[in-house]
Amino acid sequence: MKKPKIDFNNIKIGELPDIRLVPVDQLFFHEDPDEERLLGLVSRLGAEGVLKNPPIVAETDSAYRYIILDGANRVTALIKHNFVHIPVQVVNLNDPRLTIECWHHAVERYDKLFFEQSIANFDGIKLVPAKQLSLNGEDDIDGTSRDEDILCRLVFADGSGLYAGGDGDICTRVVKLKKITDLYLHTSLSDRVSYTSLTDLKSNYPEFRTLLIFRSFTKEELLQIVLSGRKLPAGVTRVLLPKRALGLNIRLEFLHSSLTLEEKNHWLADLIHKMVRNKTIRFYQEPTFVFDE
Q: How many CB atoms lie within 10 A of CB 59?
A: 18
| Domain CATH code at residue 267 | 3.90.1530.10
pLDDT tens-digit series, residues 177-206: 999 999 999 999 999 999 999 999 999 999
Q: If you average pLDDT over every residue of the chain, what do you get? A: 87
Residues 168 and 187 grouped into a single domain: yes
7 within domain boundaries: no
270 within domain boundaries: yes
110 within domain boundaries: yes
pLDDT tens-digit series, residues 129-159: 987 766 666 555 543 444 668 999 999 999 9
The boundaries of the domain holding residue 162 are: 103-217
CA distance 114 to 120: 10
Q: Check residue 14 and give its pLDDT.
A: 60
CA distance 53 to 45: 12
pLDDT tens-digit series, residues 215-225: 889 999 999 99
Residues 67 and 157 grouped into a single domain: no
Q: Check residue 145 and give its pLDDT.
A: 45
Residues 252 and 269 grouped into a single domain: yes
Residues 40 and 88 grouped into a single domain: yes
Could you tell me if 194 and 238 are in contact, meaning their C-beta atoms sit under 8 angstroms apart?
A: yes
- Structurally, how many domains does the chain consist of? 2
Looking at per-residue pLDDT, the higher value among 103 and 286 belongs to 103
Residues 138 and 35 grouped into a single domain: no
206 within domain boundaries: yes
**DSSP states along 139-204:** S--SGGGGSTTEEEEEEETTS-EEEEE--S-HHHHHHHHHHHHTTTTTSSSEEEES---HHHHHHH
Residues 108 and 210 grouped into a single domain: yes
pLDDT tens-digit series, residues 27-85: 999 999 888 788 888 888 888 899 999 999 998 776 678 999 999 999 999 999 999 99
